[in-house]
Structure formats: structure tokens, C-alpha cells
Amino acid sequence: MAMATMMMSRMMGMSPPPVPPPPPPPSSSSSPLATQALSAPSSRPPTNLPTRTIPGSYGWPLLGPISDRLDYFWFQGPDTFFRILLLIFHVFMESHDTTSFDLGQLKNFAMDILKRGSKVWVTELLGNLDKFLDTIESEISTNGSSSYIPHLQSMLFNFLAKSILGADPTIDPDIANSAPFTLNLWLGLQLLPTISVRVIQPLEEIFLHSYTYPHALVSGGYQKLYHFIERHGQEVVQRGEIDFGLSAADAIHNLIFVLGFNAFGGFSIFLPTLFAAIASDKTGLQARLREEVRKMNGSSTRLSFDSLKEMELVNSVVYETLRLNPPVALQYARARKDFQLASHDSVFDIKEGELLCGYQPLAMRDGKVFDEPESFKPDRFVGKGKELLSNLFWSNGPQTGSPSESNKQCAGKDYVTLSASLIVAHMFQRYDSFSGDSSKITAVETTK
Ligand code: HEM
């Protein structure tokens, strides 16, 4: 059985960290999931918990990783694989792993451009959302339903380009048309080694999961995007150069990463799950959301981030979707020094150099923290339920935490939840209800 701390290095074919002491047998399978947030390495875990070494070993060279990959991708699947490991941590990597000046500067740059973009964020989001919904309505009236993912991604690119890059894609129709495809291809090539296509297993491990794919496959589209930012995003690029000491090229590559990987990629996974959670509900959730939105903000008053504060149910539905389906399942980081990691029932010695892997979907379904953890409970985070936000970790840190250069928490954490709440609120201003799933909207109803 593999060690959680080493799993990623083995699966990704990296060289292993220093060899640990001989492993004791795995703990009992009834051991509860670990959920205690990890505080700074210097802080002491509870002293009454037994200290353990993480169970497992690398197994045989070459064969060990292959057997793990087959278990992870095929025989067991990620959930069972991690359940068997029984090593699910809520890891808030306080300061080890991000001490590098350059990484801190890049994160500050990301947070700075978000702050800069916040002036137009809501206007751009709502304007592009309305265009998206117009398209959906027109497709429903022509075809009876709308397969909305391509429209959603065009909307996301247009809105994010204006908000993050300060560049308007409508002045370059070629970019507006090609960028979502380019970003999907670019994301796909980076993520393919970690995704199971489940078609040609076990050959998938040899043919799909063992390579770094050549940049040449996407370089044409990537260069177009690069030149678009160079030409139309000068103000943001210059901020990177002047305020953060980056070269123009580094600023542009990082802007592509933040826009393409973090924001476009993250929202492309998250929003369809959110639409599906609301559209598939049979308990009257849509009526309650509609009532809350219109009570707080009327059916036509323009929304702002401020107007969302009182919309407890809207916000709770967004949080609950992120809890049950964290868009980024795996997080990992290498320990920069020895420290101890606490779970519900044990403390584990972590050695410098070990690679730690956290699997969000299991940590977010911990029955010791969340009542009926496998169920979607729209009101979970309403009222007193807000106390649970310190256990919501989709952003690689608690929902009550703040991203900074000294942690690994998502720089866009608050923009993500506020934008999602804004989308839900706007949809219930515009519609009484809608039907569909994670790829199609089949009907929208309005009494206006
Ligand atoms: C639904 C959308 C998003 C999701 C699900 C998401 C999720 C995450 C997660 C899980 C991480 C931690 C990754 C890791 O270290 O393993 C992360 C990091 C990051 N995210 Fe997001 N994110 C989203 C949107 C955004 C947006 C809009 C921005 C815009 C600036 C952003 C910027 C970043 C940055 C810069 C980091 C790196 C933080 C660091 O390494 O310290 N993200 N995100």
C-alpha cells in the first residue's frame, strides 16, 4: 500500500523523497477520516494523540507505481483508493512551501490584478451572463434545449479577459473565437496524465499517463493569446514589470496561467456542477432561492457583491456545491522541514522533503464534521451552519481564511464564491425556475 505522502511522486513518476523508517501495518479500516486543520509547523498538535508514522511503502521499483496507478485510475478509482489509505487531511499549508520570494511575488501579482479588476468584475460578469442566457433561450426555442458548455466558456473568457487582463476580446474576434478552444487544449494536455479516460485501461497508463505532452501541440493558439495580451493588456503587464519586478514575458505567461488554468479552468468545472445541483433539485429549492433573491434585491435592481451578503441560502448553496464537489480534487506540497500533522485520532511525523497529498472529496465528506456528509443539504451553511465554513477547504484553505503570499490558498477564493452567488442571484431575478443538468439547460420559466 502506498504512502499518502509519497503517492503523488510515485504516480507522477517523480523521484522519491528520502526513504522513511520501515512502515508499520496500516491502521484499522474503521479509523475515522482525519479532519483537523493543520496549523503552522511550529505550532504543537494536541499532545494526547498517539504519534504515528504514515503507513505504507513505495513497493517495488517500477511495479509499485504501476500497481498504484491501476488501483487509482481503474480497479478502485480515486475515492476508494484514498479511503483505503485512510489518510485524508485538511491541510492548510501555512508557510512551508511558499517561502520562495518569486512565488510570493507571483501570488501578490495575481491578487493585485484581481483587486484592479474588481472595479469592472460585477459589470462584466452580469453583462456577459445576460448574453449567455440570451443565447441559451434562443437555442431552447429553436432546438428544445441548449448544450451550454461552449457558450459558458465563451462567456467566461470574455468576462475574465476584461476583468483580469483589462483587454477586450471583442476587438479581436479571432481571439474571442479561438481562445476557449486553445485553453481547453492547453488544460487538457497538462491534466491528461492525471485523468482517467477509462477506455483503454491498462494501456492508458503507458499511452496516456506517462508523458509530458509537447508544447508544440498548442503553441500556435498559445502564441496568439500571448500576443493578444502583449497588445491589449499593456496596463496589467506593466504592473507586473514595475510593481512586481517581472519581465514582460513572465508577466504574460503568468497572466495566461491565472486566467486560463485557475479562473477559466476552475469556473468551467465548478459552474456546471452548480447549475446541475440547483436544476435537479426536487425539494422546492428554486422557489426558496427565488424568494430570497427578490426579497433582498427585488427582481430588477442591479446586484452587487454587497447585496449578496444577506442572501444566506444563495451563498449556502454555493458553499455546499463546493463541499460536495470540490472542483480541484488533489492538492499536494513538499514539506520544507520536519513537522507533525494531526488528524482526529493521531499525529503523524512528516519529514522534510516528503510529498504530501490531500484528497478533497473525501475530506469534505467527513461524517465527524458534516452531518449526512454524502447528501446535498442546501441550508447546511445557513445561520449557525456558517460555523462550518472553517471546515470548507475547496480553495486549499478554510473558507474563513485569507489567501496571502505566505500560504497556498486560492488567490481568487472570495471572487469565486461571490461570482457564483451573483450568477445564481441573477438567474433567479431573471427566471422563476430552470431545468437541466451539468451539460444542458432544457427549459427556463418566467412569469414576467
Ligand atoms: C472555481 C474557480 C477556482 C477554483 C476551484 C480554484 C481552486 C484553487 C485551488 C484548489 C488552489 C490551490 C492549488 C494548489 O496549490 O494545490 C488554487 C490556487 C490558486 N488560485 Fe484558484 N481557483 C479558482 C479560481 C481562481 C481565480 C478566479 C483566480 C484569480 C486570480 C485564482 C488564482 C489562484 C492562484 C494565483 C493560486 C495559487 C495560490 C498559491 O499557490 O499560493 N483562482 N485555486
Q: How sure is the predictor about 274, in pLDDT bands with cuts at 50, 70 and 90?
A: very high
Mean pLDDT score, 70-80: 85
How many residues belong to the chain? 448
Instruction: Give me the pLDDT at residue 333, please.
Output: 83
- Identify whether the C-beta of residue 120 lies closer than 8 Å to the C-beta of residue 162: yes
The helix or strand, by DSSP H or E, that contains position 252, with its residue range, turns out to be: helix 248-256
Q: What is the pLDDT of residues 423-437, one digit of tens each?
A: 999 999 999 999 999
Residue 21 C-alpha cell reads as 523508517
* Percentage of the chain lying above the pLDDT 70 cut: 84
Assigned C-alpha cell, 146: 441548449
Q: For residue range 170-218, what is the model confidence (pLDDT) as tens digits?
A: 999 999 999 999 999 999 999 988 888 777 777 888 888 888 899 999 9
- β-pair partners for 101: none
pLDDT, residue 425, reads 98
- Interstrand relation of 347-350 and 51-52 (parallel, antiparallel or unpaired): parallel
The phi, psi pair for 285, rounded to 5°, reads: -60, -40
Q: Which three cell numbers stand for residue 67?
A: 500497481
All 3 cell numbers of residue 394? 475547496
Cα distance between residue 135 and residue 78, in whole Å: 37
Angle 273-271-328 from CA coordinates, rounded to 5°: 75
**Residue 122 φ/ψ, nearest 5 degrees:** -65, -45
CB 127 within 8 A of CB 418: no
- For ligand 1, atom 2, which residue shows the shortest CA distance? 266
Q: Is 198 left (phi over 0), alpha (psi -120 to 50) or beta?
A: left
**DSSP structure class, residue 380:** T
**Lowest mean pLDDT: which of 156-165, 285-294, 306-315, 339-348?**
339-348
Q: Cell 477586450: give the residue.
A: 168
Closest Cα partner for 362 from 79, 99, 8? 79
* Reported confidence tier of residue 357, pLDDT bands at 50, 70, 90: confident
- Element of type H or E holding 146: strand 146-147
Over residues 233-258, the mean pLDDT reads 97
**Higher per-residue pLDDT: 52 or 295:** 295
Note the pLDDT of residue 57.
67
SS3 363: helix
b/e for 260-299, b at 16 or more Cβ within 10 A?
bebbbbbbbebbbbbbbbbbebeeebbebbbebbbebbee
Is the alpha carbon torsion for 394, 398, 399, 403 positive or negative? negative
By mean pLDDT, which of 93-97, 191-195, 244-248, 296-300 is the weakest?
93-97
Using the predicted structure, report yes or no on whether residue 343 has a pLDDT greater than 90: no
* d(CA 3, ligand 1 centre) in Å: 26
419 Cα–ligand 1 center, Å: 14
Indicate which residue's Cα is closest to atom 17 of ligand 1. Answer: 410
Specify the pLDDT at position 300. 81
| pLDDT mean across residues, the chain | 85
The CA–CA distances, whole Å, from 328 to 116, 376, 388, 395, 423 equal 26, 18, 20, 8, 20
| pLDDT of res. 56 | 62
Q: What is the CA radius of gyration of the chain?
A: 23
Report how far residue 239's alpha carbon sits from residue 236's, in angstroms, rounded to the nearest whole number.
5
Q: How confident is the model over 24-52, as pLDDT tens digits?
A: 333 322 222 223 333 333 345 556 777 77
Report the pLDDT value the prediction gives residue 181, as an integer from 0 to 100: 98
H helices of 86-215, in order, are: 101-143, 149-160, 173-191, 203-207
Distance (Å, whole) CA 88 – CA 360: 8
Mean pLDDT value across residues 268-280:
97
3-state DSSP helix/strand/coil % of the chain, to nearest 5: 55, 5, 40
- Considering all CA atoms of the chain, what is the largest pairwise distance in Å, rounded to the nearest integer? 69
What angle, rounded to 10 degrees, do the helices at 248-256 and 219-232 form? 120
Ligand 1 in reach of 45 Cβ (< 6 A): no
Question: Of the residues 95, 254, 262, 408, which should be mutated to test ligand 1's pocket, given the most ligand atoms within 8 Å of the CB?
Answer: 262
Residue 331: beta bridge partners? 358
pLDDT: which is higher, 339 or 11: 339
Q: Is 357 annotated as a binding residue?
A: no
User: Average pLDDT, stretch 211-239?
Assistant: 96
Name the pLDDT band for 133 (thresholds 50, 70, 90): very high
Residues 6+ apart with CB under 8 A from 38: 89, 90, 91, 92, 93, 94, 341, 342
Q: What is the mean pLDDT of residues 240-255?
A: 97
Cα angle 185, 189, 195 (rounded to 5 degrees) comes to 115
Is 350 a residue whose pLDDT tops 60? yes
Lowest-confidence pick of 82-86, 110-114, 171-175, 200-204: 82-86
**Greater model confidence, 341 or 250:** 250
pLDDT score of 39 = 30
Q: What is the signed CA dihedral for 287, 291, 294, 297, rounded to 10 degrees?
A: -120
Tell me the best of 410, 417, 423 to mutate to test the pocket of ligand 1, counting ligand atoms within 8 Å of each CB and taking the most. Answer: 410
Q: Residue 112 above 70 pLDDT?
A: yes
User: How much is the average pLDDT of 125-129?
Assistant: 98
Q: What ipTM did this prediction achieve?
A: 0.95
Q: What is the DSSP string of 128-143?
A: HHHHHHHHHHHHHHHH
Q: Is 114 in the pocket of ligand 1 (CB under 6 A)?
A: yes
Report the pLDDT value the prediction gives residue 250, as an integer from 0 to 100. Answer: 96
Q: Per-residue pLDDT tens for 12-22?
A: 333 333 323 33
Going by CA atoms, what residue is nearest to atom 6 of ligand 1?
Answer: 266
